[in-house]
Structure 1
Amino acid sequence: MPTRFSNQLILDLEAVLSPPRFATYLREAGGDRQKAMALYCWNTDVSAAFYVMLQFCELSIRNGAVEAIETVFGANWHLNRGFVYTLPAPARGYRPREDLADCAAKLPTAGKVVAELKFAFWRFMFLKGQQPRIWDHHLARTFPGYDKALTLSQARARLFDDIDEVRKLRNRIAHHEPIFARNLAEDHARIRRIIEWRRPDVAAWLDGTQQVTTLLAGRP
């Protein structure tokens, strides 16, 4: 992207972005419109770079969870009432039990259900209540790279916390929101940790291909 913007281009870009959205960057840049645009471009680039890692992270989470769930509840776990009733049914906010029921009713296979469930669903798979029935027996197998200095309960709790923060980052990127105010180095570490716990060799491979750390070092 350009490193120098004409005044007209800044006005045009501000119209595309919307003045309130651009104002977020303008405040961070101390009112300097050139610096604000440079920050916006950097935010866009680093968001794109994170998106690559988020794909591997999300697949690590959901496929690791599915492997464990299938072992306990069978290949048709999405139809197993015993499993369904392990899910919370809050009065407000996201409802994992309802999400699963909706997907199971309209989709023909467990694989299609997995692809359709919201990312928030998988966070609920790592709640404390799932520890004895799923993670005490299957965390070490499905996330073999987990930190062995932690107990299985601590590892499950770490995954839950990491997934929650990754979900927040993912949602901001998906909605084209600024992420520059987050601790992006910590976000990168969380994402990498989840992938490493699932398959260490994949995390090591991504170290040589990802662009996040380079972009973080070059923030304007």
Structure 2
Amino acid sequence: MDYSKLEYFTSQPRMQRFLAAVGNSKTKAQRLYKINLRVSQAFYPILNLFEIFLRNSINNQISSHFANPNWVISEKHGFMSDNSLTPSQFYLKNSITKAERTIRRKGGTISSGKVIAEQSFGFWTSLFEPHHYRLIGGAVIHCFSNKPNSINRSHISQKLNRIREFRNRVYHNEPICFTGNIVDFDGAKHIRDEVFEMLKWIDMDLATYVEQFDALDSKITQFNNV
């Protein structure tokens, strides 16, 4: 497909950033666009597995904290309704209610497993925010049993939010190959490294497993041919 057609169907503003980064060469801009997509594609298994492993680790810790495997439903009227959460507009509670509506609309029966599966990555990372964290006794920090002693809730929350923001860029087809207007994959590599660091803090075997799907470096090296 020639550049003009690619630009027409992706939009001129989207392609302009790629074009400017390679000296207005349409051939190089199209190549860079492809490489950006391939690098984004390489992140899918890494981000997907990290989200699954984190979600289930959090679920296990909170289930243990409340001695209730169905906490995600029952706590809608428990800590998720605490008056201290008024400023956040009861984000967790509303997320559960929305999930239940979605499940019913699809003709399903409400269960903890289905409600958990409907939750966004942001639902899980928000449990490390102070206003939620204190209401569950900091239970979620125990997901990271291998973390250094110097790493606290704030460090974990910051890392998770960086990963979440990057994940959203990948999932919404936003470019991940720039620092400002300069082509630079260092930010993407840093996120990959943070994901693996956090996986090791949960369980070393998880990091080893996910490494099987890490093709990021081989995709990035294609930039040398632009």
Kindly indicate whether residue 110 of structure 2 is the aligned counterpart of residue 111 of structure 1.
Answer: no
C-alpha displacement of 1:130: 4.6
Out of 209-218 and 177-186, give the one that drifted further. Answer: 209-218
CA 1:137–1:40 in structure 2 vs 1: closer, same or farther (change >3 Å)? Answer: closer
C-alpha displacement of 1:134: 4.2
Q: Are the counterparts in 1 of residues 128 and 140 from structure 2 also a CA contact under 8 Å?
A: no
Question: What SS is found at the alignment partner of 1:125?
Answer: helix
Aligned mates of 2:15, 2:209 — CA distance in 1: 36
Unaligned runs of 5+ in 1: 1-7
Aligned mates of 1:101, 1:36 — CA distance in 2: 45
Give the structure 2 partner of residue 45 of structure 1: 38
| TM-score (normalised: structure 2) | 0.80
Aligned mates of 2:218, 2:161 — CA distance in 1: 25
Aligned mates of 2:25, 2:71 — CA distance in 1: 55
| TM-score (normalised: structure 1) | 0.82
C-alpha displacement of 1:108: 0.9
What is the identity, as a one-letter code, of the residue corresponding to 2:47?
Answer: L
Give the structure 1 partner of residue 154 of structure 2: 157
Q: Are the counterparts in 1 of residues 63 and 69 from structure 2 also a CA contact under 8 Å?
A: yes
Question: What SS is found at the alignment partner of 1:121?
Answer: helix
Kindly indicate whether residue 77 of structure 2 is the aligned counterpart of residue 96 of structure 1.
Answer: no
Aligned mates of 2:212, 2:194 — CA distance in 1: 17
Give the structure 1 partner of residue 183 of structure 2: none
Q: Percent identity?
A: 25
Question: What SS is found at the alignment partner of 2:24?
Answer: coil
Aligned mates of 1:198, 1:135 — CA distance in 2: 19
What is the identity, as a one-letter code, of the residue corresponding to 2:166?
Answer: L
C-alpha displacement of 1:21: 1.0
C-alpha displacement of 1:181: 1.6
Unaligned runs of 5+ in 2: 180-186
Out of 44-53 and 162-171, give the one that drifted further. Answer: 162-171
Out of 34-43 and 66-75, give the one that drifted further. Answer: 66-75
Q: How many residues align?
A: 207
C-alpha displacement of 1:133: 5.4
Aligned residue among 183, 186, 203 for 2:207? 203
C-alpha displacement of 1:65: 1.1
Aligned mates of 1:159, 1:144 — CA distance in 2: 12
Aligned residue among 85, 90, 93 for 2:81? 85
Aligned mates of 2:31, 2:80 — CA distance in 1: 48
Give the structure 2 partner of residue 188 of structure 1: 192
Aligned residue among 100, 124, 127 for 1:125? 127
Give the structure 2 partner of residue 148 of structure 1: 148
Deviations 1:150-209 (A, max 9, x none): 25xx1x322211111111111111111111125111111121122222221121233243
Give the structure 2 partner of residue 5 of structure 1: none
Aligned mates of 1:11, 1:137 — CA distance in 2: 54
C-alpha displacement of 1:17: 1.3
